[in-house]
Amino acid sequence: MNDLIVNDSLNEEILIDFDPDSLVEEWAKNSAWSISLQVIKTPRNAVTFEMIQNETTILYAGQKFVIKGLEPKASGPVTIKNITAPHIYFTCQDHRQYEKQSKTWTIEDAMHWAFDSNVLGFTWEVIGTFPHIQMDEFGDANALDMLNKILSVFGAVVEADNKHLVLHPASSWGLITSKQIRYQHNTDEISVSIDTSNLKTVIRGFGAQNEDGSYVFDPITYTSPNVEKFGERHAEPIRDDRFTNPESMQTYLPTQLNDEPEISMTVPLKVDEEVNRGEHRLLIYEPMDLDIDVQVIAYKKYPAVKKAPEVTFSNKSQDVVDVITGFASTTKTVNKVISSSGSINSDALGTDISQAVQKINSVITSDGNIDLNKSEGRLDDSKVSVGPETTFAEGYDPTEIQMPGLATQSKNGLMAAADKKKLDLIVVDDDGHPIITIPVVTVTKDGLMKKEDFAKLGRILFSGSNSIDLQNILDTLENHEQRITELEGGTE
């Protein structure tokens, strides 16, 4: 097997005296790749043993793995370290894109957005062609989460060579081989899951539309050769305005059709043979009359001992690993939106929605009612109605006229006679304005007005063209006061 080389960034040593049975390499498409092992401290590996710490790198088969899980144990004179080291490509999560964008993306655009300006040394390339995909609010995440989103929405598979990431279309990924998985040949045990729920043999594609609603090209129908075996089963149609020519749609449709039973299986091989990531093999399983192409989507290898690998194969366009990876990504997205208390995080919403939610929350009371004292605006009169279940404050009857300070109702709801007289004193002019009347003004025997009566005139309201020359009144008052003084003095 390949040597394990420990590097703590200062020194580099070959690791010896580890438990060979404990060394395991595990890989799963797009979601996992790690090595794990147990190291027992001996006089020969004492220096290397001390170098084994969190974030130390282990080089295995030309690939770097970073120790993230470390469990030191001691039992008497024996000291042990259990190690879990994921592949170094997972450390891309230490780079982050703080901004978001919403647009139609190419896979290259998305990778640039996720990895440009990273200072960790990550590079990437794209092999093959991918469709353009609309993604909203893409960003504000670490590069690993963004990479997983790209793999999911574009239907891609990542192959990592240390910090260099290579993206392939899932439909063309993996080496075609002549190897077989054959019951009672290279395996005596097959745990198979076979599902025909999504099996379809016919699919139709609709491309871009003109302004008048017609299609740029006639709908394309693809029929699988398996229609002879399973009959005519129609899949959901593809409606995608990115397609403007029929040839592209014709090529695309077969990739969107599940025209074989979906099969996934775990197979412990009888012999220690080389198993490569993504390789295709022919599955022959006579008891169920199976003879189909399957692909390696996960494995567990024991490189330090003669032990056959455990391999997971699938022929699904979206296999169980994709489902698990997608679920994990969805969970992270949901956790960003929903807080631990079950409420919506307004920061995860768009600006307009967030502001609207804040305004709503500001006027909602703890018991779920609207606090009108905190609300703004008014309802349109035509949209307001009072129903039979409406309640009014105690002592208030909307069917009776309420005139505070002028009239009060008696306990039986009738108006007091004294208040009726007050109403009779209210007079309005032709424009509906109230005219206030005052008691008749008395004058002295010589025709002069008393000062207290003149003060009453100041309370008269005039409307329309009626007016008073106040200056003239003041002059008159001054003359009258002088005249009264003369009379009181006995001059006449």
- The CA distances from residue 45 to 41, 72, 79, 224, in Å, are 6, 15, 12, 60
pLDDT at 334: 46
pLDDT of residue 267: 76
pLDDT in tens, 404-442: 454 455 555 566 666 666 666 666 667 666 665 544 445
Domain boundaries for CATH 3.55.50.40 within the chain? 91-172
pTM, two decimals, is 0.58
pLDDT digits (tens, 9 = 90+) for 315-341: 765 444 444 344 444 445 445 555 555
CATH 2.60.120.10 corresponds to the domain 91-172: no
pLDDT value of residue 471? 60
- Model confidence pLDDT, tens digit, residues 97-106: 999 999 999 9
pLDDT of residue 287: 74
* Number of Cβ within a 10 Å radius of residue 91: 19
CB atoms within 10 A of CB 326: 18
Distance CA 292, CA 280 (A): 10
What local confidence, expressed as pLDDT, does residue 99 receive?
96
CATH code: domain 4-86 is 2.40.30
353: left (phi over 0), alpha (psi -120 to 50) or beta: alpha
pLDDT of residue 14: 96
What residues does CATH 2.40.30 cover in the chain? 4-86
pLDDT number for residue 455: 58
Cα–Cα distance, 457 to 468 (Å, whole number)? 10
- Listed as ranges, residues in the chain with pLDDT below 70 are 288, 316-363, 366-384, 398-429, 431-477, 480-481, 484, 487-492
